[in-house]
């Protein structure tokens, strides 16, 4: 309250008491100034003194909530790609043989032989025997011993020999790939390659060479060397311990500046263990 207001009020009271016939008028209550709203006061304001209705409170402001984080599924564990059909068959396909040991014994391969060169053509016989060892259910190593002979010799009226002979004796190591898909497959085609290592004999007429003049009478010469060989055929397997090999072999030989081609067709039994 102001220091000037209080003495004035007191003076007015005294004048009313001393004036005769003047009723006493109680002093008007002094309205205290409204208290400042507290920091923690209720959000609803108090009604004004003159009774004016309070305006409607504003509607609550909707504050959008942040969107929940998007759920990301955990990465799937790594799975190896499915095995191919060839891998599956190879993993389950046993080796050949009655005991699945993958060892075969060629008892005797026998069949006709045809030899063609620039001088002439010879016909004869091819035979062989050996072992076959599985390196996998489809791939095998062959170690056969082979003997090939074709042609003949003739002597003319002057005693000069005329020869169309071809001969080969040696080992022919090679690889064979068999198109197997079942453990007890009856017919199995195969392809392969080998190297003929050994001794060769050639008749001069077979190669188109001039005969040796007299007094030489022998018209053949020998060489030691190697020649490539390609093979293909079928394996007929009536039993797991026995199969018949039907083979076609082709060999190429370059000798005396000319080419020689040898083709054989052989059949023979093979014991498989």
At 3 the pLDDT is 54
Distance of CA 13 to the CA centre of its chain: 116
Tell me if the domain spanning 91-147+169-194+223-267 has CATH number 2.60.120.560. Answer: no
- pLDDT tens figures, 104-121: 999 999 999 999 999 999
| Tally of CA atoms within 13 A in the half-sphere of 22 that contains its CB | 11
Q: Which residues of the chain are modeled with pLDDT < 50?
A: 1-2, 13-15, 17-20, 22, 24, 38-42, 88-90
At 49 the pLDDT is 62
At 189 the pLDDT is 97
Task: Compute the distance between CA of residue 52 and CA of residue 222 in angstroms, rounded to an integer.
Answer: 138
At 64 the pLDDT is 72
Measure the CA dihedral 177/248/174/256, to 10°: -140
At residue 236, the 3 state secondary structure works out as strand
Pairing of strands 153-155, 161-163: antiparallel
Cβ contacts of residue 125 below 8 Å, gap of 6+?
Answer: 110, 111, 112, 113, 148, 149, 150
At 40 the pLDDT is 45
At 79 the pLDDT is 64
Task: Compute the distance between CA of residue 120 and CA of residue 99 in angstroms, rounded to an integer.
Answer: 48
- pLDDT tens figures, 47-57: 666 666 667 77
* Domain coordinates in residue numbering, the chain: 91-147+169-194+223-267
Task: Compute the distance between CA of residue 161 and CA of residue 28 in angstroms, rounded to an integer.
Answer: 167
Average pLDDT, rounded, for the chain = 82
| Tally of CA atoms within 13 A in the half-sphere of 21 that contains its CB | 0
pTM of the model: 0.65
């Amino acid at each position: 309250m102001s220091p000037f207001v209080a003495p004035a009020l007191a003076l007015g009271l005294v004048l009313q008491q001393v004036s005769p016939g003047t009723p006493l008028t109680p002093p008007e209550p002094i309205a205290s100034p409204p208290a400042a709203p507290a920091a923690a006061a209720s959000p609803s304001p108090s009604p004004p003194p003159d009774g004016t209705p309070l305006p409607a409170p504003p509607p609550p402001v909707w504050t959008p909530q942040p969107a929940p984080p998007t759920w990301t599924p955990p990465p799937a564990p790594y799975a190896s790609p499915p095995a191919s059909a060839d891998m599956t068959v190879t993993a389950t396909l046993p080796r050949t043989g009655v005991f699945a040991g993958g060892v075969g014994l060629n008892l005797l391969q026998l069949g006709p032989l045809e030899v063609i060169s620039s001088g002439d053509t010879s016909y004869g016989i091819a035979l062989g025997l050996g072992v076959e060892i599985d390196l996998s259910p489809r791939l095998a190593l062959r170690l056969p011993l082979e003997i090939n002979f074709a042609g003949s010799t003739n002597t003319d009226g002057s005693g000069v020999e005329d020869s169309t002979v071809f001969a080969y004796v040696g080992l022919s190591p090679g690889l064979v790939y068999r198109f197997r898909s079942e453990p007890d497959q009856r017919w199995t085609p195969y392809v392969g390659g080998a190297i003929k290592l050994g001794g060769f004999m050639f008749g001069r007429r077979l190669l188109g060479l001039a005969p040796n003049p007299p007094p030489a009478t022998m018209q053949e010469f020998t060489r030691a060397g190697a020649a490539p060989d390609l093979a293909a055929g079928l394996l007929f397997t009536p039993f797991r311990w026995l199969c018949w090999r039907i083979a076609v072999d082709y060999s190429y030989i370059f000798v005396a500046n000319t080419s020689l081609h040898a083709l054989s067709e052989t059949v023979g039994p093979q014991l498989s263990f």
